[in-house]
Structure 1
Amino acid sequence: MKLVKNKEILKIISKSFDKKLTASEQEVLNHWLSSSDDNKAKYEGYRYLWEQAETLVSHDDIDVEAALLKTKAQIGDFKKKRFLQPAFVKIAASVALLLSIGLGSGYLLSDYGFGKENTITGFQQVEAMHGTNTKLLLDDGTSVWLNSGSTLRFPVSFGNEDERRVVLTGEAFFDVEKNMDKPFIVQTSDVDVRVHGTSFNVSAYTEDKSITVALVEGKVTLEKEQEGEVRQLAELKPDQVVMLDKESRSIVPVTDMKMKQFTGWKDGLVVFYGDSITTVAQRLGKWYNVEVDVEKALGDYRFTATIQNESLEQVLDLLSMSSPMTYKIIPAKLNEDKTFSQRKVILTTKKRR
């Protein structure tokens, strides 16, 4: 029997819990289970998650990690194996899903020709196409990583400028070359970020209700020009994150977080830490270039996850096996202008059996 891919076996495992396997799929599952004790342990872990998700209610606090460790101990020879390690609970307790999975759809560098570049007189504009990341090097030696659907406009040369000003729409991570005489300024729609030499992330997508700045090292200030004067709004120190509400203009520090939530994407990671299903849907939508609709009944759930080198379908399979959520993917359609629409993902609550 030919080897079955990870993506295919997850689909088959999921169908087996609903007792919807065909004869050929059952044969594939039986072969996969009999091939190693490792596979048996994984299957038991997935089945536990599936059963707990079906009985989950608002006051439950389920320690799935402890259950999986118990399963591994029963199977044996599992101590040195890498394995999915999720935990899942419902808010008002908390919901956590820790996945050691990966996401390889879209870390594409401009060095390999994937960035869309437009040169205007004296300026250059680089765009990271939807579903990709783009890395570029500015004239002063500053490195920039552009996230999916983001655009950066900057001078071809900073030589004759008093400052190094770039204009960002979307999200980018900056590793700024130090120059105390020529500050580096990231201009967004609602706030400017001023630095001299530092590493930080700015998320300023047009459709988002807030702008987020995360400082890895160095120092940055947030400022806004009002009535001809530059007003300082906030100053960040390393490992600090703030959010600027576009409507109220208020700045709120983000305290319960992990820095990789805001910077992991440049290394091909999507990291969630207590994030709402709405936030998860938004970020997966940008990362995979899909439209995601979430049923209101799922709104109370929060997830913690690290995703790397995994397809959209695999991520959704693992999420649905660990929560009372299921999904449907609607394929892209050919529009009248010969372009294709985005794929659409619909997240809904599982029906009780």
Structure 2
Amino acid sequence: MLYVSQKEKKCVRYLTNEMSKAERSVFEIELTLDDDLLANFENFKTIWIRYPNSEFPKATTSFGKIIKKYNKPEKGKSIKSSLNYKVLLSTALLFFFCTIFYFVATPNSEYTNHKIASKGERLTFTLPDSSTVILNSGSEVKYSSDFGKRRDIWLKGEAFFKVTKNINSPFIVHTSDFDVKVLGTQFNVNGSKINQTISLSKGKINVLLKESKDEINLMPNEELVWNAKTKCIIKRNFDVNKVLAWKDNILLLDDVKIEDALPEINQFYGVNFVIKDAVIANKHIKGAFKNQSIDEFITSLEFILDVTVIKTIQNNFEIAKYHGN
């Protein structure tokens, strides 16, 4: 029996214009997050361009008529040409089968919602099912208007989710490398770094790694760390207060070298700090900076490290040696 994956069905439905405008938007979002889906789509698109719809029978034509038409022997055709026809026929049948099946199986959406946290901002909002989302600086999510029926949300960056329980409708967070499935819980997903993390504070979640198809369950105070380069997976306990501090507008630096802390500082404030002095780069910083503006943080930074922060251009700062009078 011919097996057709969900990804293939989506590709075919998109190419045959069977999707609504909203569904096409969601599909295009998925293409940016899922490399496998993109590869499938490029393959189908190539076939679609090379063999236009006009060369095929309509989808309403019975499979028997299609087979009869394309299996009819023709004089002067080589074996290679015959094989090409068979490949073409298989592709056509796959298109028709996927289109009809997926059209019936997939509900329509009215429009797509898009939420973006500006650089230096933490954005809190409520989903249609009353679940709460907090987006970290520079992060974004997209979801369909029928979210109450199918609770799927696509994340780029980092977000905290407080999910309203609904045993009849799982809540699924999609990223480029994994899907996080829950019923009702509180957890954090950070896909903005090489070491991507899913951290669970309450409830229970199931994580599906897209590449390996492995499924891993997490319990409260457990987190999964996935290295996007090495493909290494670590499951460990974590400090909830430290990992989730950002959602309460707290920049928490736990005795780290200032050089290592810069990526987190830059994301939190939506700016770009640089250090050119090796001595300064190796200085350690420790503190919880709550509700501080960028100017207030700079003042704290200068006091703690005994440095001077120089603004070079807009949103760019250099941390340099302090030169007293």
TM-score range (shorter-chain normalised) is: 0.5 to 0.7
Bigger shift: 179-188 or 218-227? Answer: 218-227
**How many positions carry a matched residue from both structures?**
216
Letter paired with 2:250: L
Letter paired with 2:199: A
**Per-residue Cα deviation, 1:289-333 (whole angstroms, up to 9, x for no partner):** 21121334444444331111323233233233223544222241x
Aligned to 1:124: 113
Q: Is the counterpart of residue 309 in structure 1 residue 281 in structure 2? A: no
Q: Is the counterpart of residue 178 in structure 1 residue 165 in structure 2? A: yes
Secondary structure of the residue aligned to 1:322 is helix
Aligned to 1:138: 127
Aligned to 1:158: 147
Q: Does the 8 Å contact 1:261/1:270 carry over to 2?
A: no
More helix by share: 2
Q: Could you tell me which of 200, 217, 235 is aligned with 2:217?
A: 235
In 2, Cα distance between the equivalents of 1:352 and 1:251?
Answer: 49
Letter paired with 1:131: G
Q: Does the 8 Å contact 1:173/1:201 carry over to 2?
A: yes
Unaligned runs of 5+ in 2: 1-108
**Per-residue Cα deviation, 1:104-158 (whole angstroms, up to 9, x for no partner):** xxxxxxxxxxxxxxxx953211111122222111122211111111110112123
Q: Is the counterpart of residue 265 in structure 1 residue 246 in structure 2? A: yes
Q: Does the 8 Å contact 1:281/1:294 carry over to 2?
A: no
State the superposition RMSD in angstroms: 2.6
**Per-residue Cα deviation, 1:191-231 (whole angstroms, up to 9, x for no partner):** 222211110111112xx22212221111122212348xx42
Shift of residue 254, structure 1, vs aligned partner:
5.7
Q: Could you tell me which of 294, 302, 305 is aligned with 1:323?
A: 305
Aligned to 2:255: 274
Shift of residue 286, structure 1, vs aligned partner:
2.0
1:215-226, aligned counterparts within 5 Å? 215-226=200-211
Larger radius of gyration: 2
Q: Does the 8 Å contact 2:112/2:144 carry over to 1?
A: yes
In 2, Cα distance between the equivalents of 1:298 and 1:128?
Answer: 31
Share of identical aligned residues, percent? Answer: 25
State TM-score, norm by structure 1: 0.55
Structure 1 157/306 Cα, relative in aligned 2: closer, same or farther at 3 Å?
same
Q: Which has the higher contact order (CA 8 A, sep 6+)?
A: 1
Q: Is the counterpart of residue 345 in structure 1 residue 317 in structure 2? A: yes
In 2, Cα distance between the equivalents of 1:156 and 1:275?
Answer: 43
Letter paired with 1:344: N
Unaligned runs of 5+ in 1: 1-119, 333-342
Q: Does the 8 Å contact 1:129/1:149 carry over to 2?
A: yes
Aligned to 1:97: none
In 2, Cα distance between the equivalents of 1:202 and 1:159?
Answer: 21
